[in-house]
Structure 1
Amino acid sequence: MKKNIISRFIATALVFSTLVIGNTTAAQAKTLNPNTGKSNTTVSNLNGNNGQALNTSWGLGSKQTEYVSNNKSYDWYIDQGHTGQDSNNNCGPTSTVMALKWLKPNFIGTVEAARNTYPENDGWWYTNDVTNFLDLNNVKTYAVKQNVTENLLKSELKKGNIAILCVKMSYIPYNKNSEQRVGRFYSYDGGHFIVVKGYRVVDGKTYFEVYDPNNWDEQYNDGQEKGKDRYYLSANLVKAASVWWNYSIVIQPSSNY
């Protein structure tokens, strides 16, 4: 479904890793923790949309002390299972188009169109296909950053940014509990593109909130897609990136859109 991509992208990554993202700081707000009834300091995104309240049935824990979620007022999640004849291999174009929808509210491009722009013989996208498609769509506010760490991702998310990662899914443990939202919910364990758009600190552990396109119509009992707002434990996600492609494509909001 996805591909290990270092050799073709290393030169491009070294160039873009020198770019600097703006210093916009996310607003902080006091909120009431629905589980403890106590006031906790959480960080909201730039658009003031704090995402969903923590539910203890999700499997993260019960005491939340920090939450960042760079959501939008509109739906920008895409299930790669409905993206044409190359759906099995479309995690790269799907993650990229999701990021463009997040960045540009009026973006009308499709995953199929992205795939047709860089067909790659119907196979996996390379990471430079992602950045080339961002360039093609005049995205100026992104940077490729080397070494994926918890602190780097949290810092960028606090600024209101999101990140595209290419990771090895075998390092994200499979969770057989179909209603929990932590861990991998499918059997595939190879290379994979995802979008990281927030994080929670619960019971002292950091979980990154992701849009995982490998959904294929899977839903929780409440009707939400399982790939939407899925949570991957920080240590697992960082390892999954470091062994596969140890860079992040960080995208910053822009007033131009």
Structure 2
Amino acid sequence: MPMILDTAFVQINNYADYYIMKNFRLSYIVLIMLFLISCKKEKAELSGENKLLTFSVVGQLSAPVIDEISHRITVTITPIANISALSCIFSVSNEALVTINNRQIGNTATADFSTPATMNIIAPNGNTASWTIVVNTISEEYGLGKSVTASKSIEKTFKWYFDQAGTGKFSSINCGPTVATMAAKWNDSTFTKTPEDARNTYRATGGWWYTDDIVNYLSKYGINSAYTALPDNYQTIKKYIDQNYIVILCLDNYYIRYNAIATQHVDKYYKVNAAASGHFIIVKGYKQVDNQFYFEVYDPWSYGVSYTSDNQLKGENRYYRSDDLETATNVWWDYAIIVAPKGKTVIKISELNSKTQLLSAVPPQHGG
């Protein structure tokens, strides 16, 4: 009997071990399955967010244009910003990685934007959104070119540009009175006369204004000016601008080329259909861009036409090519009127061509 009991007890123990092992194996399998399901679930739950939230660059003139449809960012920078090593600042979806031109970066970076750059935003699950970044200089938007190597602009803290439109019954030929008024206002911020006042001072009954009318009008208000010949337009005008004088030219406007692109600031925005079209302008600055030299001018012929981007009149701060100005003055009036800043007198600049003499009188020419 004891033996039978012992045998039965051993069998019971064997059955218990069997069931324990069986349950252990089942539990182990269940744990493995749960682990695999958990891993699968974790992998499935990795974020696919790869959105661009903000973007800017150091030296931008205005907020970038971010096109969500084409994934294109366009931004314009100041002329002094270094486009080849430009700092950008951005934010993207949480945990997303960013590369610019295949180089992984943080939320700030310096990159070469001299050509369009590719920005990839990579979500944790690997989904990638590609953006094209186009950085333009203001000179490119103006139509000047890319690389500005020399620049000067004679500016004031007050407005001194006048449009010859609306200057009375002779407004269509009032470029002379308008330019004279601009020069007087530039010289003295307290000057309150208008182009119509200037017209009523000389040739009030109509007709072209002449170069000597401008000089006489400036002299009437104590503003010093002088004539000079232009044996080398580019150097003569540039050197006087470098010394903070403004320059008045009387030229044949037909030879300043026309530009039909409405957003650009280069060349005339209006057409002149025939030669012998005398016109007065003020030269107040210059830019050397790539291989082209431009003069920055106030052309009084705006006639209320402005840029849609900022409402600036199109004759204000226009850029005319130096070779066009040379041709246009050579055929019409190969002189210039140099206007001195307030309280100063025009003096000959010593480093100029020996033929560049200040003159008290020259053959007069008209503009309209």
The TM-score with structure 2 as length reference comes to 0.55
Contact 1:183-1:230 at 8 Å conserved across structures: yes
The structure 1 residue matched to 2:228, chosen from 124, 139, 145, is 145
The structure 2 residue matched to 1:63, chosen from 147, 156, 166, is 147
Q: Distance in 1 between matches of 2:250 and 2:318?
A: 16
Contact 2:79-2:139 at 8 Å conserved across structures: no
Residue in structure 2 matched with residue 192 of structure 1 by the alignment: 279
Deviates more, 1:97-106 or 1:247-256: 247-256
Contact 1:54-1:64 at 8 Å conserved across structures: no
The alpha-carbon distance between structure 1 residues 120 and 35, as it changes in their structure 2 partners (threshold 3 A), is farther
| Count of aligned pairs | 212
What is the alpha-carbon root mean square deviation over aligned residues? 1.9
Q: Residue 319 of structure 2: SS of its match in structure 1?
A: strand
Q: Residue 208 of structure 1: SS of its match in structure 2?
A: strand
The structure 1 residue matched to 2:183, chosen from 99, 108, 132, is 99
Q: Residue 155 of structure 2: SS of its match in structure 1?
A: coil
The structure 1 residue matched to 2:161, chosen from 52, 58, 77, is 77
Contact 2:139-2:148 at 8 Å conserved across structures: no
Runs of 4+ in structure 1 displaced over 6 angstroms?
A: none
Residues 1:221 and 2:308 are matched in the alignment: yes
Contact 2:79-2:138 at 8 Å conserved across structures: no
- Give the C-alpha shift of residue 54 in structure 1: 3.5
Instruction: Output one character per residue of 1:161-181: Cα deviation in whole Å (capped at 9) or x when no partner.
Output: 101100111111111111111
Gaps of 5+ in 1: 1-30, 39-52
Residue in structure 1 matched with residue 48 of structure 2 by the alignment: none
Q: Residue 173 of structure 1: SS of its match in structure 2?
A: coil
Aligned partner letter, 1:202:
V
- Give the C-alpha shift of residue 188 in structure 1: 2.9
Q: Distance in 2 between matches of 1:64 and 1:170?
A: 27
Aligned partner letter, 1:201:
Q
Q: Distance in 2 between matches of 1:127 and 1:112?
A: 17
- Give the C-alpha shift of residue 241 in structure 1: 0.9
Percent identity, please.
41
Aligned partner letter, 2:182:
M
- Give the C-alpha shift of residue 33 in structure 1: 2.3
Aligned partner letter, 1:237:
L
Aligned partner letter, 2:229:
Q
- Give the C-alpha shift of residue 204 in structure 1: 2.4
Between structure 1 and structure 2, the one with the greater Rg is: 2
Q: Distance in 2 between matches of 1:128 and 1:149?
A: 20
Gaps of 5+ in 2: 1-77, 86-136, 345-368
Aligned residue runs from structure 1 range 81-230, under 5 A: 81-119=165-203, 121-140=205-224, 142-147=225-230, 149-188=233-272, 190-222=277-309, 223-230=311-318
- Give the C-alpha shift of residue 85 in structure 1: 1.0
Which structure has the highest strand share of the two?
2
Which structure has the higher relative contact order (CA within 8 Å, separation 6+)? 1
Residue in structure 2 matched with residue 33 of structure 1 by the alignment: 80
